[in-house]
């Protein structure tokens, strides 16, 4: 991984990459991050970035509800500062809570932090039969995401619509209903289960009175990723995804300047958007370059790892399925595993030794979720390459989950996007210890060639290893070849995705006896004169 931060000097010291670079103990770092729930939806990154590039000090909140602190000559003399207002509000709220006995302040990292109250909104569109989850289940998952982000969910609602309202996504009656709920529960954040357009976000914030933040599922997931990014690479990936999410949402953010100036500087807001967009675009391309260098470094590392003759098995699955727990159980890796969504962002690879002495490398990867924001898949491409280059994919399923079937489908959808159809797959049902009727489940699994395990109790792990061994062997074809010394890459690939039985150095190259996937055996075809036999 590259340690050169080409853009670091441009960002204030509180930037994500700088935070990640400080290498704080993980728990400590998480605490600091949690003191800012929904930081990404506050355009935190964008704010820092634009402030760093422009001389004026501005304060930006979400979706055009922007107030500024700077002294704009001739435009504004004194302006209500949002920070000050929220301080007053906080004090008032604290008073109320003292009298009502409701404790909404939590001590985090030595600081009192207000736990934000969130209200959830879902829409079921008749024309959208692509949705795997039904509305209520999807809302339940959104509540879990909000909890992971450190918010307190105080209520939720949903609406069935033929098509979403282009202005406000939901109908006007629903807007009014939510507005009353906001007052009744003292809601600070309204979260929509689907991605909203920049215009819809702005209109909804206005409709709710301007004092409440509106965000969508994508922003919430981005925020969780932001809170959890513990390594430089993860921080870069999250920053990129955040900026790509925010770019179209900068639209008309500055129109308040035009209004406040009484029309004298007409077009100023538009100009500012262009400047801000240009800054963002420049930063996005710098981030992409930085990620590319990280990717190259990862590839080097992977090649070095693959010089060890062992096949790589990737663990994939829905978030919270138990992937990290399984890796820890098999290898003692010590990866963070907890009952929260997206505990893992970075892949970890460890060697697994089976009872018969055979070994394979097992990689734990970032979990999937339904409606996974595409910019996240794109940003995490480098990480997901681990999956694309493995010999076998183990799809781990939390079979005790009531929505196990829907989760399986959601994972399959993401796998489709990754183009890994040629890689053999093993489906494993985890958390069998929690199943109501484990016997029945086992029967069902056996009939489908599925392995049942409990990563917690260790039950079924021998069968799991045997199934991996069989799958790896079955999916490979035996080869014997002499690979010329100038084709080290090819030899690496054989080691990487095949099972090498013997290597010997000869005059013309390395003699290798191995089992490799068919696609690699085909690749070896042009070398037929060196290949002794391809079965």
Ligand X SMILES: Nc1nc2c(ncn2[C@@H]2O[C@H](COP(=O)(O)OP(=O)(O)OP(=O)(O)O)[C@@H](O)[C@H]2O)c(=O)[nH]1
What are the residues binding ligand X (CB under 6 A)?
Answer: 317, 319-325, 337-339, 341-344, 367, 430-431, 433-434, 454-456
The residue within the footprint of Mg ion, chosen from 246, 344, 349, 454 (CB under 5 A), is: 344
Q: Which of 205, 212, 225 is nearest to 183 (CA)?
A: 212
Nearer to ligand X, 91 or 440 (CB): 440
Strand (E) or helix (H) holding 156: strand 152-161
CB of 33 to ligand X, least distance (A): 16
Which of ligand X, Mg ion, none has residue 338 at its interface (CB below 5 to 8 Å by kind)?
Answer: ligand X
CB of 455 to ligand X, least distance (A): 4
A 10 A CB-CB count for 518 gives 12
Instruction: Output the CA angle 519-419-430, nearest 5 degrees.
Output: 100
Measured from each CB, the residue nearest to Mg ion is 344
Measured from each CB, the residue nearest to ligand X is 367
State the residue for tokens 């809570």. Answer: 97
CB of 35 to ligand X, least distance (A): 22
Q: Is 341 in the site for Mg ion (CB under 5 A)?
A: no
Q: Is 343 in the site for Mg ion (CB under 5 A)?
A: yes
Q: Are 220 and 142 in contact (CB under 8 A)?
A: yes
Which of Mg ion, ligand X, none has residue 321 at its interface (CB below 5 to 8 Å by kind)?
Answer: ligand X
With H, G, I as helix, E, B as strand and everything else as coil, classify residue 259.
helix
Q: Which of 487, 496, 499 is nearest to 524 (CA)?
A: 487
With H, G, I as helix, E, B as strand and everything else as coil, classify residue 532.
strand
With H, G, I as helix, E, B as strand and everything else as coil, classify residue 103.
coil
CB of 326 to Mg ion, least distance (A): 9
CB of 455 to Mg ion, least distance (A): 11
Binding letters toward Mg ion, positions 288-327, x by CB under 5 A = -----------------------------------xx---
Listed in sequence order, the residues at least 6 apart from 121 whose beta carbon sits closer than 8 Å to its beta carbon are 156, 157, 158, 159, 170, 174, 178, 190, 191, 192, 193
Helix, strand, coil share (%) of the chain residues, nearest 5: 45, 20, 35
Say how far apart CA 253 and CA 93 lie, in whole Å.
29
Alpha-carbon distances of 454 from 340, 429, 436, 464, rounded to whole Å: 18, 8, 14, 10
Nearer to ligand X, 460 or 509 (CB): 460
Q: Which of 344, 280, 308, 380 is nearest to 48 (CA)?
A: 280
Binding letters toward Mg ion, positions 160-189, x by CB under 5 A = ------------------------------
CB of 355 to ligand X, least distance (A): 20
Nearer to ligand X, 164 or 317 (CB): 317
Nearer to ligand X, 65 or 315 (CB): 315
CB of 343 to ligand X, least distance (A): 4
Nearer to ligand X, 95 or 434 (CB): 434
Q: Are 314 and 363 in contact (CB under 8 A)?
A: yes
CB of 430 to ligand X, least distance (A): 5
Nearer to ligand X, 229 or 479 (CB): 229
Nearer to Mg ion, 156 or 344 (CB): 344
- Of 95-103, 223-231, 299-307, 335-343, which part binds Mg ion (CB under 5 A)? 335-343
State the residue for tokens 């009872």. Answer: 355
Binding positions for Mg ion, rule: CB under 5 A: 323-324, 343-344
């Amino acid at each position: 991984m590259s340690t050169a931060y080409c853009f670091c000097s441009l960002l204030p010291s509180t930037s994500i990459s700088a935070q990640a670079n400080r290498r704080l103990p993980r728990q400590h770092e998480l605490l600091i991050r949690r003191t800012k729930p929904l930081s990404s939806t506050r355009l935190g990154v964008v704010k820092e970035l634009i402030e760093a590039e422009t001389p004026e000090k501005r304060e930006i909140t979400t979706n055009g509800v922007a107030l500024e602190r700077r002294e704009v000559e001739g435009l504004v003399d004194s302006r209500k500062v949002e920070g000050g207002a929220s301080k007053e509000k906080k004090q008032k709220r604290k008073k109320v809570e003292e009298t009502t006995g409701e404790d909404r302040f939590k001590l985090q990292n030595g600081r009192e932090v207000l736990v934000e109250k969130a209200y959830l909104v879902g829409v079921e569109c008749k024309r959208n039969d692509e949705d795997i989850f039904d509305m209520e289940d999807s809302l339940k998952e959104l509540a879990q995401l909000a909890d992971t982000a450190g918010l307190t969910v105080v209520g939720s609602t949903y609406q069935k619509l033929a098509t979403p309202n282009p202005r406000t996504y939901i109908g006007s009656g629903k807007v009014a209903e939510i507005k009353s709920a906001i007052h009744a529960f003292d809601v600070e954040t309204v979260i929509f289960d689907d991605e909203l357009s920049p215009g819809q976000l702005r209109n909804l914030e206005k409709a709710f009175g301007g004092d409440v933040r509106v965000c969508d599922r994508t922003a919430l997931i981005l925020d969780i990723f932001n809170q959890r990014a513990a390594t430089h690479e993860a921080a870069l990936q999250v920053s990129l995804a955040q900026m790509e999410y925010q770019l179209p949402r900068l639209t008309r953010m500055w129109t308040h300047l035009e209004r406040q100036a009484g029309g004298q500087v007409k077009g100023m807001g538009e100009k500012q958007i262009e400047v801000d967009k240009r800054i963002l675009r420049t930063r996005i391309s710098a981030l992409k370059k930085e990620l590319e260098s990280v990717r190259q470094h990862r590839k080097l590392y992977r090649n070095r790892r693959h010089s060890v003759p062992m096949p790589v098995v990737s663990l994939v699955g829905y978030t919270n399925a138990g992937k990290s727990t399984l890796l820890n159980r098999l290898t003692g890796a010590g990866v963070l595993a907890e009952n929260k969504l997206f505990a893992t962002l970075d892949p970890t690879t460890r060697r697994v030794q089976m009872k018969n002495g055979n070994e394979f490398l097992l990689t734990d990867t970032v979990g999937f979720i339904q409606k996974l924001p595409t910019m996240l898949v794109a940003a995490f491409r480098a990480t997901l390459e681990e999956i694309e280059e493995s010999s076998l994919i183990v799809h781990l399923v939390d079979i005790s989950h009531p929505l196990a079937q829907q989760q399986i489908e959601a994972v399959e959808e993401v796998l489709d996007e990754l183009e890994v159809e040629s890689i053999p797959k093993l489906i494993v049902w985890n958390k069998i210890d929690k199943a109501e009727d484990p016997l029945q489940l086992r029967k069902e699994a056996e009939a489908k060639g599925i392995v049942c395990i409990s990563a917690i109790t260790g039950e079924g792990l021998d069968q799991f290893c045997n199934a991996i061994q069989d799958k790896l062997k079955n999916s490979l074809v035996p080869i014997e070849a002499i690979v010329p010394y100038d084709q080290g890459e090819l030899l690496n690939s054989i080691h990487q995705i095949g099972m090498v039985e013997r290597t010997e150095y000869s005059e013309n190259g390395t003699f290798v006896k191995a089992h490799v996937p068919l696609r690699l055996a085909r690749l070896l075809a042009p070398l037929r004169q060196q290949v002794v036999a391809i079965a």
